[in-house]
């Protein structure tokens, strides 16, 4: 029965397409057409075929929205909003008599079911058909479409501005299902508005994971209702002695919802058993390093630890994981686990195994920095590799999945070069080409690689503009590494496409570092 309704539905859509293309005399647009395969798209799609025509986007364009599927409808509304903020024309949301060109957002039951983010974009001279199995796939396709809209109207026909989108066929899907970035809001706090702005730009490049580092020695950043002193005391500080801050649970949910609307999953991280000075300062019962607790606002870490043999500590962790998991729809919980230099080895192993059970009891899958591979974790937990190849190999032997964040390529907090105003240098400089020129798919057996993540630690940055300076443009290359297969990637070609991002970044007031390695386009 359902199948029959679906077949009829698709048949009606097909008839509509045929009908509109028959009754409307196809508009002949006399602009020089761009070759679709020459447009600067990042990440570069899997397949692009140019057909050397053009789709006229103007005030007579409509977006055909399937009203029965709310998630696809949201994608259509998102596209309408972005078109109107970029061009000033608002596409019609219903096909009517004045419609001359139509963008179909087309849910398909059969299209690439195995890859929920796959999409196809067929650009014809009077219609664009965006097809995908899921709304997430459609959302990714919308980002590609946004990148195809020329920055300026190609011309004006009888006072009608027209943006010509080059015609052709794009078939696309990501190589990794996890393409993330981590933001450290513990060393310096960033407001909900800052995080939302970051999400806007990340989603344009098809990043789909935002990992929030919510606690560290210098500050605790998330309201936990059963342990209120974490925010009353632990949130007050940050690096350098300025005033910290925290998200209420409502504010955290606002970030999670905003990310979800951009098809981005949020992963919360509570770093432990080390990196816990702010938590122990709030509740000294948790402390395991035997030292007098003081607020900490410097950068060096590795001195703090929870008392891993105390029941109260596990009661505390259970409450934190429970409250945070309840407001986190994504499947993961990150427990940190790095640089626990003053936790005895046996205590560390005991601790990680107990916390793994707590995380699983709250319905989440555990992620930890690569050190956790040296404990009895089970194969469902995930190791985030930042430093140690040895730990990576141990994790692979255990059958664990990996998130790759090798500092020498993926760390967004490293200085680009000697001119960088912000950033650290412990792994050396990470210029824009070094950030791009590595091959994650060759680092470990592909079956073990869940994906990649570029961390942005915030010891040296405290404003959104400084955040942007370190993140952009390196995160854009990282987005391509996560999405596009190595056969499609090439620095010389990427560099030209990156140069063209200047206009988008400028329009969105993003303070990127104009690296001299790139010949930035002039407007
Ligand atoms: C190492 S990467 C850390 C962080 C620092 C970062 C600075 C990792 C798991 N731990 O605590 O902020 O270096 O680059």
CA distances from 411 to 217, 363, 408, 423 (A): 20, 30, 7, 10
Token digits for 40?
């600067």
In whole angstroms, give the CA distance from residue 126 to residue 28. 10
Where do we find the tokens 């019609």?
92
Q: Nearest C-alpha to atom 4 of ligand 1 is from which residue? A: 457
The per-residue pLDDT for 190 is 98
Q: How confident is residue 96, by pLDDT bands cut at 50, 70 and 90?
A: confident
Report whether pLDDT(330) > 70: yes
3-state secondary structure 388-414: CHHHHHHHHHCCCEEEECCHHHHCCCE
Can you tell me the mean pLDDT for 481-496?
Answer: 98
Question: Which amino acid residue places its CA nearest to atom 6 of ligand 1?
Answer: 457
Lowest-pLDDT range of 29-33, 97-101, 106-110, 421-425: 29-33
CA distance 429 to 247: 32
Q: Which two tokens stand for residue 139?
A: 């959302």
Q: Mind listing the pLDDT tens digit for each residue in 260-282?
A: 999 999 999 999 999 999 999 99
User: How many CB atoms are located within 10 Å of the residue 275 CB?
Assistant: 27
- Whose CA is closest to 415, among 435, 438, 431? 431
Q: Could you report the per-residue pLDDT of 363-382, keeping only the tens digit for each?
A: 999 999 999 999 999 999 99
pLDDT in tens, 435-473: 999 999 999 999 999 999 999 999 999 999 999 999 999
Q: Return the SS3 of 167.
A: strand
Which tens digits make up the pLDDT trace of 227-246?
999 999 999 999 999 999 99
Indicate the pLDDT class of residue 126, thresholds 50, 70 and 90: very high
Give the distance (Å) from ligand 1 centre to CA of residue 371. Answer: 13
- Cis amide prior to 297 (ω within 30 degrees): no
pLDDT at position 390: 97
Q: What is the pLDDT of residue 97?
A: 86
pLDDT at residue 160 in the model: 85
Global pTM exceeds 0.75: yes
Rounded distance between C-alpha atoms, residue 414 and residue 65, angstroms = 44
Q: Which of 411, 402, 484, 510 is nearest to 454 (CA)?
A: 411
Q: Which two tokens stand for residue 256?
A: 């999670």
pLDDT at position 3 is: 47
Calculate the alpha carbon distances from 118 to 37, 46, 303 in Å: 19, 10, 46
pLDDT band, residue 503 (cuts 50/70/90): very high
| Residue 432: exposure state from Cβ atoms within 10 A (0-12, 13-18, ≥19) | buried
Secondary structure class of 452 (helix, strand, coil): strand
> What's residue 493's pLDDT?
98
Residues lining ligand 1, Cβ inside 6 A: 301, 338-339, 369, 386, 411, 413, 424, 457, 459
DSSP 59-96: TTEEEE--TT-HHHHHHHHHHHHHHHHHHSPPPBSS--
Q: Which of 197, 326, 216, 190 is nearest to 269 (CA)?
A: 216
Q: 250: CA distance to ligand 1 center in Å?
A: 28
Look up residue 5 and give its DSSP letter.
H
- Number of the ligand 1 atom closest to the C-alpha atom of 336: 9
The catalytic site residues sit at 339
Residue 30 is predicted with a pLDDT of 61
Question: Is the separation of the CB atoms in 288 and 306 below 8 Å?
Answer: yes
* Rounded Cα gap, residues 220 and 288, in angstroms: 18
Ligand 1 nearest atom to the CA of residue 426, by list position: 14
Token pair recorded at residue 421: 């105003």
Ligand 1: residue whose CA is nearest its atom 2: 386
Structure confidence at residue 164 as a pLDDT band (50, 70, 90): very high
- Say if residue 27's pLDDT is above 90: no
- How far away, in angstroms, is 457 Cα from ligand 1 center? 7
Task: For a ligand 1 pocket test, name from 336, 425, 455 the mutation site with the most ligand atoms within 8 angstroms of its C-beta.
Answer: 455
- Residue 486: pLDDT above 90? yes
Average pLDDT value for the chain: 94
What is the pLDDT at residue 20? 44
Output the CA 411–ligand 1 centroid distance in Å.
9
Locate the ligand 1 atom nearest the alpha carbon of residue 369 and give its number.
Answer: 9
pLDDT at 21 over 50: no
pLDDT, mean of residues 302-329:
98
Q: What DSSP character marks residue 342?
A: T
* Residue 33 to residues 123, 131, 150, 154, 165, Cα–Cα distance (Å): 13, 24, 11, 10, 8
Taking residues 3-7, report their average pLDDT.
49
Ligand 1 pocket: which of 457, 460, 470, 471 to mutate (most atoms <8 Å of CB)?
Answer: 457
Mutate to test the pocket of ligand 1, among 298, 301, 409 (most ligand atoms within 8 A of CB): 301
Length of the chain in terms of residues written? 523
pLDDT, average across residues 488-502: 97
Looking at ligand 1, which residue's alpha carbon is closest to its atom 13? 457
């Amino acid at each position: 029965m359902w199948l029959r309704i679906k077949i009829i539905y698709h048949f009606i859509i097909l008839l509509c397409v045929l009908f509109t293309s028959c009754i409307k005399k196809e508009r002949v647009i006399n602009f020089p057409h761009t070759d679709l395969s020459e447009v600067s798209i990042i990440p570069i799609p899997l397949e692009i075929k140019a057909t050397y025509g053009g789709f006229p986007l103007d005030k007579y364009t409509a977006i055909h929205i399937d009203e029965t599927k709310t998630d696809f409808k949201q994608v259509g509304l998102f596209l309408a909003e972005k078109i109107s903020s970029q061009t000033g024309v608002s596409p019609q949301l219903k096909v009517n008599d004045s419609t001359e060109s139509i963008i179909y957002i087309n849910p398909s039951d059969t299209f690439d079911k195995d890859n929920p983010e796959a999409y196809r974009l067929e650009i014809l001279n009077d219609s664009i058909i965006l097809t995908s199995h899921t709304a997430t796939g459609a959302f990714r396709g919308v980002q590609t479409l946004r990148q195809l809209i020329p920055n300026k109207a190609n011309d004006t026909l009888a006072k009608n501005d027209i943006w010509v989108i080059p015609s052709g066929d794009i078939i696309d899907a990501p190589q990794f299902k996890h393409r993330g970035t981590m933001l450290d809001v513990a060393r310096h706090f960033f407001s909900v508005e800052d995080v939302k702005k970051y999400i806007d730009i990340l989603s344009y490049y098809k990043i789909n994971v935002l990992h929030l580092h919510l606690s560290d020695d210098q500050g605790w950043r998330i309201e936990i209702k059963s342990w209120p002193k974490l925010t009353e005391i632990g949130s007050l500080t940050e690096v350098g002695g300025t005033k910290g801050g925290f998200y209420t649970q409502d504010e955290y949910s606002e970030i999670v919802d905003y990310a979800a609307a951009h098809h981005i999953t949020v992963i919360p991280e509570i770093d432990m058993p080390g990196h816990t000075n702010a938590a122990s300062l709030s509740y000294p019962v948790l402390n395991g390093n035997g030292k007098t607790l003081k607020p900490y606002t410097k950068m060096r870490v590795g001195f703090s630890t929870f008392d891993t043999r105390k029941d109260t500590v596990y009661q505390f962790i259970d409450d934190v994981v429970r409250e945070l998991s309840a407001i986190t729809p994504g499947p993961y919980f990150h427990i940190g686990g790095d640089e626990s230099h003053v936790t005895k080895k046996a205590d560390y192993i005991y601790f990680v195994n107990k916390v793994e059970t707590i995380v699983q009891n709250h319905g989440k899958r555990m992620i930890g920095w690569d050190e956790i591979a040296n404990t009895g974790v089970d194969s469902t937990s995930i190791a985030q590799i930042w430093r140690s190849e040895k730990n990576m190999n141990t994790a692979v032997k255990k059958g664990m999945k990996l998130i790759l964040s090798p500092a020498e390529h993926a760390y967004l907090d490293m200085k680009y070069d000697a001119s960088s105003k912000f950033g650290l240098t412990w792994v050396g400089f990470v210029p824009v080409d070094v950030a791009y020129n590595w091959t994650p798919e060759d680092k470990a057996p592909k079956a073990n690689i869940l994906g990649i993540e570029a961390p942005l630690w915030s010891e040296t940055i405290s404003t959104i503009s400084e955040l942007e300076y370190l993140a952009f443009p390196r995160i854009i290359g990282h987005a391509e590494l996560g999405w596009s297969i190595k056969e499609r990637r090439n620095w010389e070609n990427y560099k030209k496409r990156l140069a063209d991002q200047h206009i988008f970044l400028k329009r969105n007031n993003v303070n990127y570092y104009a690296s001299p390695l790139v010949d930035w386009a002039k407007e």
